Structure 1
Amino acid sequence: MESRDSIADIWGERTPYSGQDAWPVRVDQRTTEAPERWVQSACVLCSNGCGCDIAVKDGRIVGVRGRAQDVVNRGRLGPKGLHGWEANNSPDRLTHPLVRRNGKLERASWDEAMALIVEQTQRVKREYSAGAIGFYTSGQLFIEEYYTLGIIGKAGLGTPHMDGNTRLCTATAAAALKESFGSDGQPGSYFDVDTTDCILMVGHNMSNTDTVLWMRVLDRRRHADPPKLIVIDPRTTMTAREADLHLAPKVGTNVAVLNGVLHLLIQGGHVDRAFIDRHTMGFDDLAQLVAAYPPERVEAISGVPAADLRRAADLIGSSSKLLSTCLQGVYQSNQATAAAVQINNINLVLGRIGRPGCGILQMNGQPTSQNTRETGADGDLPAFRNWNNIAHIEDLARVWNVDPAIIPHWTPPTHAMQIFRYCETGSIRMLWIQATNPAVSLPNLNRVRAILQKEGLFVVVQDAFLTETAQMADVVLPAALWGEKTGTFTNVDRTVHISHKAVEPPGEARSDFDIFVDFARRMDFKDKDGAPLIKWTTPEQAFEDWKACTRGRPCDYTGLSYDKLTGGSGIPWPCNSEHPDGEHYIYKDLVFPTDADYCESFGHDIITGAPVPEKEYRAHNPAGRAVLKGAEYMPPFEEPDADYPLFLTTGRLVYHFHTRTKTGRAPALANAAPDDFVQIAREDAEKLGIVDGDWVRVTSRRGNAEARAKIGDIGPGEVFISFHYGYWDEPGRARAANELTIYEWDPVSKQPHYKYAAVRIEKVDAPTTAQPERMDPAQPGVASPTAQESGVIHALKEAKDVLVEGWEKAKPVRAHVADYLGLLQASERRLVKAFEQTRTTHPDEPDIGPLCHLFERWSGAAADALDPFVAQYGERREGEPERLDEALVVQRKQGGFDMLRDLHDLWLLVNESMISLDVLEQAARSLHDKAFEAAIRQIRQQNKRQLEWLHGRIRQAAPQTLVVPS
């Protein structure tokens, strides 16, 4: 039974409406057999989170239907939701663990696989510390799984190296919300579509990425009183065609365009000064910055006509409400966080927030990516706690009943691409990957493949299929998919759904939850009282613990339960005693979570990424006000040139999700978009002699890809390739878009820059570039090597293994704490010498002598205080400490300018020690060496006092010395 052909009719029939909660019901359904029963769930094939029911017959999934009562979709489903479930029944599902033996993945038992993982975990931790272990997870798991994983990593092992592929698609959403509002959590709701009179979509091709939310927008716009729609996107997409106004900026110029809009809104008198003065801070600085972006300058930078920019500002400013949304066209492009923050600023300067029709949806790219951020399975702390606030660390330690020192807070959390960089350098020795496929999804794939296959890196992959990444693993664990396990998850507008287990997973596959609980049991993780750290065995028990962890935080789940989520609609957080039915408008009281004691982050410089110090944030405590942060436009790091004259951008297709691990195994979706294409402007195609359907090769400084050309609907000088296509289905050629992209990230959110790379295009008669990643010979459709070839390959592999093993044993492996200890101790001894020299050079200065004598004693005592730790950790200076002597410990004459220079050099030398102290403090925390940490704090306090005196004395001496001739 099929209610519509969603391949041909993607969005279905229109049901016009207007008004809060007035969207009519339309139940979409597709089943291949008459079901015996229906099981409640929600779709996991985009971030919309549509309620659905799973059809079951004979223990198999046979279809889905939308849930009419669900507030998110009112029964509607998109093509991925209606077809994607077929991947569960795919014949190439992983059904048993695999372990690499003699270079080949072979079948193993669960006990063998888990014993090997535990053995490697314990060995790496023992030999290299927990800092040599990394976790890279997904946007596909459930809350209960993420939360268990987060505790394992942060309180069981104590590693700061935890992130997910949500870093690739949604990290900027979280970062921008923290910068503006002090905490993650969407300020908008899907209900805003029902009542708004103006929608601004920036870099958000909603018709493809969120098909059901797009249905809601289309239905609202088919009513007699439609909201205006403004779309900012370089391509002429279906979303752009629907718009009342389409702005098509050059790739990488979002900040300039948004600054121009802000300038015109302020200049035109559209801003709400009463709201700004009462509920925000930073407006004057923002207004001054955007005043430098008049429409003519914006046009020169972005190509957006000045008249169109003025019209956009008029449409926005003259409306009474505003719903703003954005996605990867912002998050994966140049100045990602800076641009996303400007979108927040537009709503804030207008006072359009906290009431129906006035919201911001910093959209997510994956269905459960909100939960990686909430639970701490990525670089964040659970329940939006601030990793830089010791009170939050102590509170989390109380919830988990562990020593606060075990929770990584001695350094900023490690983001995904830095994790892979540590793997590349050998600093991370074990990497556990769950339900994601970095061998296709990360940028610069040639580099990523080399990292995943690096000798000395133990890779575990947990997945339902033998993906391109799993092919390179040392252990592969077969995982259950959606519909084969129970759990909860949260969509973009904070609506929480429950997904009940409908069928058993195939073969020996297990849920991610069961795998994590089993690992924790085998590792024997304990809390500080000796009880098991992971105290639950069922998802519902884990959910109850998660609720306790969220109490009093912005994402308060305490009013939710499995029973409450079962039978009806999804429910938004916060859901607690104050909001027993959930709350769609979290900022209706116009109090934002920016107070210094409550906020999730103290913020950053949104251009450089430098963190705002806690002391500085507290000095200007927003105390419930939103923060307006401006950003000047900065051009992309890589731009087109004579060798690579075009700009590549990447994105999604409506029929596929991420690397097609599931959608590529649903026949209708695979047939609707069987292969990639290269979209080229008509003007560029004519210059190159390319017509629709020609084979073309796209080349960047990192690699190349080949696909057929598609002409039109994109600006001159720009090229588009979707990021879905990899190599598991053996195309036989290089075609993955990420062969071309840049291994580079946004300075604040650390999200990769997928949306710009300089490339060139050439027409080819047929593909000639070999597929860069071969699939396992045992897989269907790939010829196995001959016996002779297998013998040669095996012999070469054995010889290589022997050589590598010998080299690993022979090469010196050591921690570098000793190096910095030696550097610090030598710096303090150099300070003794420098203070003594300054004292004797300037005997007639009444303050220099006594103060320098005091500082000599302090620095000498500091150097001596490090002796026990040098004895413990060793000393290795490698000649570095002497490098400043010649430059800074200079003999000068008494008085005047020479005295000022001596004070200046002393200030530099003390700062040299301060940097070493900062570095060693992070190491001491990571080592959980409290005595070492206390010694570092004592030395820092003395050095800080030295710096303060020197700074004041320099300022005192400077005017007379520099201005009055002598």
Structure 2
Amino acid sequence: MMTTHKVKSVCPYCGVGCGIVLEVSENRVLKVTGDKEHPTNFGRLCTKGITCAQAIAESGRMEHAYIRSARGVEPRPFGIDEAIRETAKRLRAILDEHGPDAISFYVSGQMSLEAQYLINKLAKGFVRTNNIESNSRLCMASAGSGYKLSLGADGPPGSYQDMDRTNLFFVIGANMADCHPILFQRVLDRVKAGAKLIVVDPRRNATADKASLFMQIKPGTDLALLNGLLHLLVKNGHTDPAFIAEFTSGWEVMPSFLEDYPPDQVSEITGIPEADIRQVAQWIGESHEWMSCWTMGLNQSTHGTWHTNAICNLHLATGAICRPGSGPFSLTGQPNAMGGREMGYIGPGLPGQRSVLVEADRHFIEDMWSIPRGSLRTEVGTGTISMFQSMQAGEIKACWIICTNPVTTVPNRKNVIAGLQAAELVITQDAFLETETNRYADIMLPGALWSEAEGVMINSERNLTFMQKAVNPPGEAMPDWQIIARVACEMGFAASFTYSTSADVYLEIQKAWNPKTGYDIRGASYERLRETSIQWPCAPDSEDDRNPIRYLNNGISQNRKENADGTHPRLVFATESGKGIFLARPFLPPSEMPNSEYSFVLNTGRLQHQWHTLTKTGKIAMLNKLNPGPFIEIHPEDALMIGIREKDLVEVRSRRGHAVLPAVISERVRQGNCFAPFHWNDLYGENLAINEVTHDAVDPISFQPELKFCAVSLARCT
């Protein structure tokens, strides 16, 4: 009789962080169900979560390491030990000959916390390069930068629990129904109880279908709308002067700044009826508790950081922040993108929400890593785009890519491919053999999947979930953290990278708690996490597993502030003054607008049943049946003008490339706009790569590239 046992873990897809239970027998996952005890999903799962185990076995896994003897030839399988030694030898040779800036790392929000920590430790502390970037740069860098500027530290100040108590949801640039479906179920539960749902998007998506009011905005004009709403909140007397006076700074410049955003002008800029703008401002002003939710529609923009600042302005002005039912809540797109940001794997970051640009932060981490003061460098890169450009220019000689597929995700991929071809050494570390990026690798290292190793993931609301090992990885595949540690040891850093288990790595991470920002996982031990998920801040003696509100001035995980009169404010933000900061962010036109040659705006996004570059979901029959292939949505009047009919093949061309996609004629898109999902690429056919038609302009603060939309031409293929 076959015996089974159950193992708890976390869904490996979006940043919601749903708890799952895997039923296992004879080294196979037989069934996946939702964890009814998990505080994120209470047993609910989307189609991707239900089928997540099907990508583990018999799905083109990389079971052995591979090395190419020369560019252009087929890679040959190698033993993992030999491949690790060869990887370390070649990296060390480049480091010794060309220096630290000749080596780069491109990593992922899908890695465990332990792997993210170790690769950043290796890059910045021992290789001594700040050329480390993550695919989170493409989705969350501007939200993180915006939070830091407005509130002093990255990450939402509230929790999913706010969704169960709020009176109004303001969802902008986020298709929650398709991209965060389990969270959206919580939203709908609250809407059924009487809360209002406002949705702002250029496309009438599945989230908009459920809205109390849908605002179909012109692409790239969100900042005008956000400023216009604050203008009306001021005019309507719906701000909170007492909160502003006690907990914020910078308000004195806002009233005059906001005079430039009266509703009639905002309506003209955004294309939203003035009556709707006034209605939304009235609803927000009259809602005792309200929360905003946003993601890539705002983040993937040349003004992405400013969008987050403008949302924080709204919450600071109304006092709707750091209390149950209210707050600005950015939604993440990967299962551990939040953890990676906390480990500092983008740009100048250091573990515990620190930065190489701050001397005290450098000294803390240098002492923690037992390296000499002055080891951490302050020269930082300028983002993902520039990293691949530096490869193309020959300045970066080596790139180690872990758990991500940049040939299909980084904008203007011709530059990415050229960079990988120009580099002397390209290392990829992946769970799957056939990916677009692996085609350019000199060395390929086999990583274990989430269910094949122990580790921690942190979701959008700062909730830590422990991934129990369910099955053994195939062949010689091993956990990402272990490969990183072994390569580091072979490079000569064994004294600082010898770990027996992932628990040893995690114990080191716990030392990085930060009393300035309130980042604290000291009380979230492996032992406690095996029993329940835990939301930080979590101090050593804390008995609570839910800590939904940040910036409480209780002196537990944050330094306690005392006013000159001896009183203690209720809240202390992580800024130098301890106050939230109003930032006047003027509306500027998008970096790329339609013209006579490229007269349409192309928007991109996810579909409900597929994920990222299909390395997992593309191997699951049920999901492929639900979302079988790419397409482009075109408004009926535009289709009539061009002579395009349903299912016709359409050439979509931008200044940088082109794709050929079947037409879907739909009123979901605005006239003059079109929409295409970004999932399908080279492995599924020619001319499907939508990232060819996105562009590489960047937000000057966060260096996040413009990915959501660009100007294109459309033509029926003959």
Measured against the shorter chain, the TM-score band is over 0.9
Unaligned runs of 5+ in 1: 1-32, 527-531, 598-619, 766-966
C-alpha displacement of 1:551: 5.2
1:248-397 equivalent positions in 2, closer than 5 A? 248-379=216-347, 380-397=349-366
C-alpha displacement of 1:587: 3.0
Q: Please point out which of 370, 374, 391 is paired with 1:401.
A: 370
Aligned partner of 1:450 in structure 2 is 418
Indicate if the aligned counterparts of 1:165 and 1:436 stay in contact, CA closer than 8 A: yes
**Change beyond 3 A, Cα 1:590–1:695:** farther
Indicate if the aligned counterparts of 2:389 and 2:416 stay in contact, CA closer than 8 A: no
C-alpha displacement of 1:156: 1.4
1:459-608 equivalent positions in 2, closer than 5 A? 459-465=426-432, 466-525=434-493, 532-550=495-513, 552=515, 554-568=518-532, 570-577=533-540, 579-582=542-545, 583-589=547-553
Aligned partner of 2:99 in structure 1 is 129
Q: Aligned to 1:201, what secondary structure does the other structure show?
A: strand
Indicate if the aligned counterparts of 1:51 and 1:67 stay in contact, CA closer than 8 A: yes
Q: Please point out which of 667, 687, 691 is paired with 1:734.
A: 687
Instruction: Output the CA distance in 1 between the equivalents of 2:555 and 2:446.
Output: 46
1:707 maps to 2:676 = no
Indicate if the aligned counterparts of 2:594 and 2:601 stay in contact, CA closer than 8 A: yes
Q: Please point out which of 696, 699, 705 is paired with 1:743.
A: 696
C-alpha displacement of 1:591: 10
Instruction: Output the CA distance in 1 between the equivalents of 2:320 and 2:554.
Output: 11
Instruction: Output the CA distance in 2 between the equivalents of 1:118 and 1:668.
Output: 41
Instruction: Output the CA distance in 1 between the equivalents of 2:695 and 2:519.
Output: 34
Indicate if the aligned counterparts of 1:594 and 1:624 stay in contact, CA closer than 8 A: no
CA RMSD, 1 decimal: 2.0
Aligned partner of 1:754 in structure 2 is 707
**Greater CA drift, 205-214 or 570-579:** 570-579
1:691 maps to 2:645 = yes
C-alpha displacement of 1:91: 3.9
Indicate if the aligned counterparts of 1:384 and 1:555 stay in contact, CA closer than 8 A: yes
Indicate if the aligned counterparts of 2:520 and 2:557 stay in contact, CA closer than 8 A: no
Indicate if the aligned counterparts of 1:49 and 1:367 stay in contact, CA closer than 8 A: yes
Instruction: Output the CA distance in 1 between the equivalents of 2:445 and 2:190.
Output: 46
String of CA shifts for 1:874-919, please: whole Å, max 9, x gaps: xxxxxxxxxxxxxxxxxxxxxxxxxxxxxxxxxxxxxxxxxxxxxx
Instruction: Output the CA distance in 1 between the equivalents of 2:550 and 2:84.
Output: 43
Indicate if the aligned counterparts of 1:44 and 1:140 stay in contact, CA closer than 8 A: yes
**Change beyond 3 A, Cα 1:590–1:324:** farther
Q: Please point out which of 148, 151, 164 is paired with 1:178.
A: 148
Aligned residues: 699
Q: Aligned to 1:489, what secondary structure does the other structure show?
A: strand
Letter in 2 for 1:323: M
1:570-649 equivalent positions in 2, closer than 5 A? 570-577=533-540, 579-582=542-545, 583-589=547-553, 622-649=576-603
Instruction: Output the CA distance in 2 between the equivalents of 1:577 and 1:267.
Output: 47
Instruction: Name the structure where helix makes up a greater proportion of residues.
Output: 1
Indicate if the aligned counterparts of 2:356 and 2:376 stay in contact, CA closer than 8 A: no
Indicate if the aligned counterparts of 1:136 and 1:431 stay in contact, CA closer than 8 A: yes
1:56-67 equivalent positions in 2, closer than 5 A? 56-67=24-35
Aligned partner of 1:784 in structure 2 is none
Identity %: 35
C-alpha displacement of 1:334: 4.2
Instruction: Output the CA distance in 2 between the equivalents of 1:309 and 1:120.
Output: 59
C-alpha displacement of 1:535: 4.3
Unaligned runs of 5+ in 2: 562-573
Instruction: Output the CA distance in 2 between the equivalents of 1:509 and 1:412.
Output: 33
C-alpha displacement of 1:534: 2.0
Aligned partner of 2:404 in structure 1 is 436
Q: Aligned to 1:238, what secondary structure does the other structure show?
A: coil
Instruction: Output the CA distance in 2 between the equivalents of 1:110 and 1:723.
Output: 33
String of CA shifts for 1:27-73, please: whole Å, max 9, x gaps: xxxxxx99711111011111100011112122111221111111111
**Change beyond 3 A, Cα 1:740–1:326:** same
Letter in 1 for 2:128: G
Instruction: Output the CA distance in 2 between the equivalents of 1:461 and 1:35.
Output: 37
**Change beyond 3 A, Cα 1:589–1:318:** farther
String of CA shifts for 1:480-506, please: whole Å, max 9, x gaps: 111011100100000100001100111
Aligned partner of 1:724 in structure 2 is 679
**Change beyond 3 A, Cα 1:346–1:160:** same
Indicate if the aligned counterparts of 2:514 and 2:558 stay in contact, CA closer than 8 A: no
C-alpha displacement of 1:248: 1.2
Indicate if the aligned counterparts of 1:55 and 1:61 stay in contact, CA closer than 8 A: yes
Instruction: Name the structure where strand makes up a greater proportion of residues.
Output: 2
Letter in 1 for 2:431: A
Aligned partner of 2:125 in structure 1 is 155
Instruction: Output the CA distance in 2 between the equivalents of 1:90 and 1:676.
Output: 25
Higher relative contact order (CA 8 A, sep 6+): 2
**Change beyond 3 A, Cα 1:660–1:189:** same
Letter in 2 for 1:58: E
Q: Aligned to 1:200, what secondary structure does the other structure show?
A: strand
Letter in 2 for 1:252: G
C-alpha displacement of 1:337: 0.9
Instruction: Output the CA distance in 2 between the equivalents of 1:593 and 1:438.
Output: 37
